[in-house]
Structure 1
Amino acid sequence: MRAFKTLIVAMSIAVPIISLSTALVSPVHAAQTSIYSQMATAQPVWAKHGMVSSQESLATRAGVEILKQGGNAVDAAVAVAFSLAVTLPRAGNIGGGGFMLVHIAEQNKTIAIDYREMAPSKAHKDIFLNENGDADARLSQEHGLAVGVPGTVMGMELALTKYGTMTMKQVTETAIKMAKEGIKVTSDLSTSLIGMKQHINQWPSSTGVFYKADGGNYQVGELFKQPELAHSLSLIAQQGSKGFYQGETAKQIVSSVQEAGGIMTLDDLKNYKVVERKPVQGDYRGYQIISMPPPSSGGIHLIEMLNMLEQFPIDKLGHNTAATIHVMAESMRRAYADRSEYLGDPDFYKVPVQALISKDYAKKLASQIVMNKATPSSEVKPGDLAPYESNQTTHFSVVDKWGNAVSNTYTLNFSYGSGMVAQGTGILLNNEMDDFSAKPGVPNGYGLVGGDANAVEGNKRPLSSMSPTIVMKDGKPFIVTGSPGGSRIITTTMQIIMNVIDHDLNIAEATVAPRIHHQWLPDEIRVEQSLNQDTIDLLKTKGHKVNVKNAMGSTQSIMLTEQGIFGASDPRRAGSEALGY
């Protein structure tokens, strides 16, 4: 192994951390090329060789250790993914699914890996309707029918086999050790388990894993062991995806799902497939935006919104001014109206991708925006030519010394998914079936409206908002980013990009800046409490309804420049860490 001279660690206890990378790219703004700037209101972390930025520090360290051993960005990303299943059980997973962007520097090519969950083969569009024909949220959220066929394990295996350099045994070693020997309970883990106790305790198999034998809660600093999960991970280390989709683990998953009223079969697990797709790509002020294609709606609507915003002098309007937020909100409401109508699994529904990301289409939509007046959502319909994940998704970004990059977002949907642990496995199972449209026009568990394009069908993948994204400059990675946050994922990712490109903020400033969100319905701008009250008042005079709500997102971002790698881990979530060397 080669020796590495410098180790830089940034930890967030109440304030998360930062990421770094290796490929050297031309700088964008002078302020961003300095490791530290006295003008900056937040400082990024710097590294020379590579970086991992994730929502949980132990997982970050597992990934960096792989990089130090000579592994590439994909090897490290897979190690992070399996580690998060142990250390961040509310979102990290092997019982869920997600999306990964892989940039291969040597080939200057980016691949989108779709390992989204699939509906069991017997699923149908009326599966979540009660006897009155109304959508029953319990069936799609806290029931055996809520569980989609997981994709994470096969997705990680495909990425590792095709684009990594290490073995499954090597990249799962740390995760297995942490599950077997235990991890110290953090305040973040303790708080989330206490908060979700009612949800988790519906399932005796889950109670035994996440709470003490007497039903008590784990306290901060206590040792939390997951021996059954360690065994399940060991089977994957030894047998690859067959150790999950076939054999004892598969039987235990199917048995637990069926006992809970579900319809998943062993054949559903055995027949699961990962799909490699062509990323969706756009251009914003000379930068190339590469993001996830359907069944993620993220990339399309990220580009659609940026195309509209490109018609306005955002840099001159100012950062987070009422004028800028107004045009952002108006662009968001139009894109989310389109999302409700046109997005679904492309293997089942012809999504009009090129029409939605067309510059001409964006100009038409932008021309409808009046600078001093909000357009009521009742007057905005899908253009002439929606459901989503919970906050408890998680994102991580990785860059290695060769310039390879990984942007990965995955989830169980709700915090701790369905709450159900497959008996004897330690594996939390998702409730991603709620991301389908249970009934056209009826909002799902998180308020977004969908239509027939996202109706439930056997072997179909539900629509998602996950938006792992890589921004390119002069053909090389410049920003690697993404976020959890349900429907707010897309707008959060957009604001990271705008903050850097339009407002000259460094990646740390871009991360901590106040965020806003509009999703067409409900007709309101959601803002964080740190947004200026005068700005809120000005927005109201334009006719906007403004609601101050919880903070949005947990971005993990890496910026590559000629001066090295700069990164920022979002301070909105405790316990994250970016570590570079």
Structure 2
Amino acid sequence: MFKIKLMLFLCLALQQLDFYGQSGRIPVEASNGMVVSSHYLGSETGVAILQMGGNAIDASIATAFTLAVTLPSAGNIGGGGFLLYKPVNAESTAFNFREKAPEKATKTMFLGEDGKVKDNSNHETSLSAGVPGTVAGLYQAHSNAGKLDWATLVQPAIDLAKNGFAVYPDLARFSRWVYENKEEYASTAAVFLNDEGEAYSTGDTIVQKDLAASLTRIRDYGAEGFYKGKTAQLIEDFMRSTNGIITKKDLENYESAEVQPLRGSYRGYGIIGMPPPSSGGTAVIEMLNILENYDLQEYGLHSAQSIHLISEAMRRAFADRAQFLGDPEFNPEMPLDTLLSKSYAHRLQASVIEKQASVSDSSNFNKKHLQYESEETTHISVVDKEGNAVSLTYTLEHSYGNRIVVEGAGFLLNNEMGDFNAIPGLTNSEGRIGTVPNQIAPGKRMLSSMSPTIVTLNDKAYLVIGSPGGRTIINTVLQVILNVVDYELDIAKAIESPKFHHQWLPDVITFEEWGFSPDTIAILKSYGHETGTRSSQGRAMGIIIDPESGAYYGAADSRSYMGQAVGY
């Protein structure tokens, strides 16, 4: 009876939504609530939960579980992430559900006898999986701040997994890859090939019965439905059969953590970000502190001088990220107070020369390997009727994680162990980082670039923003904030605006190939910058709450072709 009533309500709610197709530079407007995510079914489910009387936490949880079904490239119950929550009349809080290294993990576990990573084992094997955190984090957030019944929030995902949804082009491409590699990835083929053992085509209906069963256990038993019982046994059995190291003990001992967010300010706005092991909050606040000393609006959006100064701020923040940041439980002396201070930013800003590029110090680094942080993450922004706001980013790491489904459980595993510094001591000019704070240790959470952020005005949520994109996440979020605050763009234009990226090492500014003038790039080269191009950067999902009218304006990045801002 519960399920029938819920689905009848959801169907009626979705029929009554003021549904707008995302129109590039035109924001979606609403007055009662807004959900923005990387798949329209997730956004629709989240708004239906808001219409049922749920709050922003409830809607973000329902959206996240829905994405675990409809967006398997990044949405997950087999990975982890971060949730930032700003209640309308209370202090903000945050939930850290980043994965942890299993108990049997070692500092050099991925290295061969030659000291190099063996066969990409930190990305493409069961060994690459960290202990998943998503279910624990969502359950803890609900226990602390949710409003509706837990089962109500999980049920829509169960129904989508059980009844199916339409395959879209990216999922069809993954299915074709699985078909071509079905002998090596048998457990994945059991989920992502059709009943005839063939690849799905765009428009086919995909049903995920094992995932529905796993979600049902989560619905009925909460976090214990994942970390204990049948699901935990399935994970341990699968690990044993595929040379992985996660055990039932690892799962039972996993805990998400409620933590205090980082706080900064920028031109009269408050900045709320995630603390380590997210590096995003620290880096975004540090860069904003530096840039506050410049009149970016006067220089102009995408002028050579603006790009130069922003890139120099990026360079310095990413150098500090590499040197200092990691899991705080293993790095208790991280100098966060210094990194977040205005006085430190003034010292960094003093080293910036207005028309001359700095040089990232790589003189002592060996050019051997490139540490890669995947761009396949997903983000959810939510604001409810009361103005409570959630910024949630989570991931499997690479697209579709390590592409390995837990046999009988129906979900993909993360390959987040690849986010640790796999080769201790090796930091090079191509981007490999080997510094101590992020080296592997049992129970340690790996450093992340995920940057869920909430910008406040008069202590009320004003801008809710986040993005996928690996290390580019930090700079994508930064530029959306600058586009809104300094360049006065609406949320859709701020998100659609072309992006650029500098991460200290390699010492190069990369530009989206379609968005910048050759003349501007020539000027930057004359300043001494090396430049390159990329096809796209980020897929930001954002909401602005107009402080005067109270209206909500949402935008899903058109770089995410399935993304949707939905309001009511």
Shared fold (TM-score, shorter chain, > 0.5): yes
Over 3 Å counting, the alpha-carbon distance change for 1:193 and 1:287 in structure 2 is farther
Provide the residue aligned with 2:75 in structure 1. 92
Q: Give CA-to-partner distance per residue, 1:413-456, whole Å, 9 cap, x none.
A: 00111111111010111000001111135479x94524111010
Provide the residue aligned with 1:104 in structure 2. 87
SS at match of 2:255: coil
Alpha-carbon offset, residue 8 of structure 1: 2.4
Provide the residue aligned with 1:523 in structure 2. 507
Matches within 5 A, 1:237-248: 237-248=219-230
Give distance in 2, aligned partners of 1:187 and 1:578. 20
Aligned mate of 2:380, from 386, 391, 396: 396
RMSD value, Cα:
2.1
Aligned AA (1:575): M
TM-score where L is the length of structure 2: 0.93
Aligned mate of 2:120, from 131, 138, 142: 138
Alpha-carbon offset, residue 380 of structure 1: 9.7
Provide the residue aligned with 1:25 in structure 2. none
Provide the residue aligned with 1:497 in structure 2. 481
Give distance in 2, aligned partners of 1:201 and 1:410. 30
Aligned mate of 1:64, from 47, 54, 65: 47
* Structure 2 residue 567 is matched with structure 1 residue 580: yes
Alpha-carbon offset, residue 381 of structure 1: 10
Provide the residue aligned with 2:260 in structure 1. 278
Provide the residue aligned with 1:29 in structure 2. none
Give unmatched runs, 5+ long, in structure 1.
Answer: 17-41
Over 3 Å counting, the alpha-carbon distance change for 1:525 and 1:209 in structure 2 is same
Provide the residue aligned with 1:488 in structure 2. 472
Aligned AA (2:451): S
Aligned mate of 1:357, from 336, 340, 345: 340
Matches within 5 A, 1:295-310: 295-310=277-292
Aligned AA (1:326): H
Provide the residue aligned with 2:438 in structure 1. 454
Provide the residue aligned with 2:461 in structure 1. 477
Q: Give CA-to-partner distance per residue, 1:19-47, whole Å, 9 cap, x none.
A: xxxxxxxxxxxxxxxxxxxxxxx321110
Provide the residue aligned with 1:28 in structure 2. none
Identity of aligned residues (%): 45
SS at match of 2:357: coil
Give distance in 2, aligned partners of 1:244 and 1:83. 16
Give distance in 1, aligned partners of 2:363 and 2:526. 20
Aligned mate of 1:344, from 308, 326, 338: 326
Give unmatched runs, 5+ long, in structure 2.
Answer: 1-8
Q: Give CA-to-partner distance per residue, 1:353-408, whole Å, 9 cap, x none.
A: 111111111111111111111112127999xxx96641110001010001111100
Over 3 Å counting, the alpha-carbon distance change for 1:318 and 1:201 in structure 2 is farther
SS at match of 1:10: coil
Over 3 Å counting, the alpha-carbon distance change for 1:357 and 1:381 in structure 2 is farther
* Structure 2 residue 421 is matched with structure 1 residue 411: no
Deviates more, 1:421-430 or 1:527-536: 527-536
* Structure 2 residue 165 is matched with structure 1 residue 155: no
Alpha-carbon offset, residue 199 of structure 1: 7.2
Q: Give CA-to-partner distance per residue, 1:284-320, whole Å, 9 cap, x none.
A: 1111110000000000010111111111111111101
Alpha-carbon offset, residue 234 of structure 1: 0.5
Give distance in 1, aligned partners of 2:318 and 2:246. 32
Q: Work out whether residues 202 and 419 of structure 1, in 8 Å CA contact, stay in contact via their aligned partners in 2.
A: no
Q: Give CA-to-partner distance per residue, 1:40-80, whole Å, 9 cap, x none.
A: xx321110010100000011111111001111111111000
TM-score where L is the length of structure 1: 0.91
Alpha-carbon offset, residue 464 of structure 1: 0.3
SS at match of 1:267: helix
Matches within 5 A, 1:457-468: 457-468=441-452
Over 3 Å counting, the alpha-carbon distance change for 1:248 and 1:395 in structure 2 is same
Aligned mate of 1:229, from 201, 211, 215: 211
Aligned AA (1:96): G
Give distance in 2, aligned partners of 1:205 and 1:221. 23
Provide the residue aligned with 1:178 in structure 2. 160
Over 3 Å counting, the alpha-carbon distance change for 1:196 and 1:546 in structure 2 is farther
* Structure 2 residue 412 is matched with structure 1 residue 428: yes
Give distance in 1, aligned partners of 2:555 and 2:126. 38
Aligned mate of 1:440, from 410, 416, 424: 424
Aligned AA (1:413): E
* Structure 2 residue 192 is matched with structure 1 residue 219: no
Aligned AA (1:7): L
Q: Work out whether residues 168 and 237 of structure 1, in 8 Å CA contact, stay in contact via their aligned partners in 2.
A: yes
Give distance in 2, aligned partners of 1:471 and 1:532. 30
Over 3 Å counting, the alpha-carbon distance change for 1:507 and 1:8 in structure 2 is same
Q: Work out whether residues 147 and 257 of structure 1, in 8 Å CA contact, stay in contact via their aligned partners in 2.
A: no
Alpha-carbon offset, residue 102 of structure 1: 1.0
Q: Give CA-to-partner distance per residue, 1:88-126, whole Å, 9 cap, x none.
A: 00100000000000112232x111100000000121211
Alpha-carbon offset, residue 216 of structure 1: 2.6
SS at match of 2:110: coil
Q: Work out whether residues 78 and 396 of structure 2, in 8 Å CA contact, stay in contact via their aligned partners in 1.
A: yes
SS at match of 1:574: coil
Provide the residue aligned with 1:549 in structure 2. 534
Provide the residue aligned with 2:356 in structure 1. 373
SS at match of 1:559: strand
